[in-house]
Amino acid sequence: MGACLPQLPQRLLLFGAAILAASAVETADLVHLCGQTWQGPGLLLRSHSTSRKFYFVAPDTDCRLWVRAAAPGDRIRFQFRFFLVYSLAPASPAPPAPNASALVLSDPCAPGSYLQFYEGSPGAGQPLGAPLCGLTIPAPVASSGPFLGLRLVTRGRQPRVDFVGEVTSFRLGPCGAYFRCHNGRCIPPGLVCDRWGMDNCGDSSDQGSWPPSNCRGPSLVPGQTGSVDGDTSESPPFSWAPGSAGSPQTTAPRSPPEGRGRALQDTALEGALEP
């Protein structure tokens, strides 16, 4: 079809552009994008390809991804759909150095696995908030500039990682051609009524069946389809320490964390597992 595009009338080309804008949201796996920078209007980001079916359990993983806003003047907002990052058998913490008290206090997840956000461009990012871990969905985060970095680190003998998050390029002030959310944010028009039902505005006004979004019918979500993208693809690559012995196992069946009450498990995992 691409070879025929130069022969199409301009009206049909404009119609095709509208179709592309309507599917602006991409899907990807964090461990498949290690060391890369992704740019675009919207992204549904999973921890790994078998998210919501199996944990990601590769030990000594240190995976970094930078996301860049779609256009100059835009910023990045990240919101989790669900979040599970911890280690069943944390590594023994090393004795802190005499001048390392501030570092120890800033790592509430030590010595277990964690996810860290960064503000700034690749290679010059600064930590944005404290490391994230546990079973509680963290609050949304937003960059003050065009870049937002994510770093996944697994520590301990039995890491357990599984999360899905929504990445949105947005701007404040005059919206121009962007869609104006009820809360005043402006998002690319292709994110309105997206097929995954992502809350790109942060107030759901881009997914409502009322004006100005006027979405029709229920949106697809990963839990309804059992997968987000590429069920038939090969296992994604990941990063681990060079000193690791053998080829580490990357996934394990989902099971409740050890040492936690049943009521806490049911509450934390509700909606995260497939029916």
Number of C-alpha atoms within 13 angstroms, CB side, residue 121?
0
Percentage with pLDDT > 70 across the chain: 64
Of 88 and 258, which is predicted with more confidence? 88
> For 152-178, b where at least 16 C-beta lie within 10 A, e where not — what string?
bbbbbebbbbbbbbbbbbbbeeebeeb
Contact 85, 134 (CB under 8 A): yes
Rounded Cα distance between 135 and 6, Å, is 52
Rounded Cα distance between 235 and 274, Å, is 20
pLDDT over threshold 70, residue 106 = no
Q: Give 162-198 pLDDT, tens digit per residue.
A: 999 999 999 998 999 999 999 999 999 999 999 888 9
pLDDT confidence tier of residue 93, bands split at 50, 70 and 90: low
Q: DSSP of the chain, one letter per residue?
A: -GGGGGGS-HHHHHHHHHHHHHT-EEEEEGGGSTTEEEESSEEEEESSTTTTTEEE--TTBEEEEEEE-SSTT-EEEEEEEEEEEEESSPPPPPPPPTT-HHHHHT-TTTTS-EEEEEESSTTS-EE-SS-B-BSSPPPPEE-SSSEEEEEEE--SSSEEEEEEEEEEEEB-S--TTSEEPTTS-EE-GGGTT-TT---SSSSSTTS-SSTTT---SPPP-HHHHS-SS-TTSPPPP--B-TT--S----EEE--PPTTS-HHHHHHHHTTTS--
* CATH superfamily placement of domain 25-91+100-172: Spermadhesin, CUB domain (2.60.120.290)
Of 216 and 33, which is predicted with more confidence? 33
pLDDT confidence tier of residue 2, bands split at 50, 70 and 90: very low
Structure tokens at 28: 């990807």
